[in-house]
Amino acid sequence: MTQPHVYDKAKYHDESIQQYDLPEEHAANHTIVFLRWLIEHQLMSDFFCNEGAEVLESFRAGKATIYDVYSWWDDCLIDDMLSEEGNAFAMRYFDFDRGRYIHDYIKTLQRGLPSEFHAEYTEENYQLMRQVIDRRYDEWQRKKTRGWWPFG
């Protein structure tokens, strides 16, 4: 049995948010933007949708936040939460070492703040990043059949 691929965990960033004396939820802000985008684009696995059906329903009804969804999954983003297509895209784009996501996040939302952890999760910031992720996904869709990825 293979180990799951962990894209990110909020606890990985505890030291950074403590260093900056930021609220705990800031450790999750960059990941919940991507998680929300994946949910809105139906790139989650059947497992995720079935196991988290109640919190997803509450989220879609506006009775739960994206923080609640992420918290339900122990503040983790792991490969078995994503569909095959979602994983293929995330492996290329969201990978912190080789992908472009964190660079896009910093360029789009940090805007003179001391770190990417200072960027607030707001609807406005989500919409800014949604446009960037949409563009990257469209580029990936066009290029993936040729086996070429222009980033990272």
Where exactly are the structural domains of the chain?
6-144
Each residue of 64-80: pLDDT tens digit?
999 999 999 999 999 99
DSSP secondary structure of 54-106: HHHHHHHTTSS-HHHHHHHTTTEEEGGGB-HHHHHHHHHHT-TTT-SHHHHHI
Taking the C-alpha atoms of residue 80 and residue 76, their distance in angstroms, rounded to an integer, is 11
Q: Are 85 and 142 in contact (CB under 8 A)?
A: no
The single residue listed with the structure tokens 């948010």 is: 17
Sequence-distant (≥ 6) Cβ neighbours of residue 146 within 8 angstroms: none
- Give the tens place of pLDDT for each residue, 20-45: 999 999 999 999 999 999 999 999 99
H helix or E strand, kind and range, residue 93: helix 84-93
pTM: 0.92
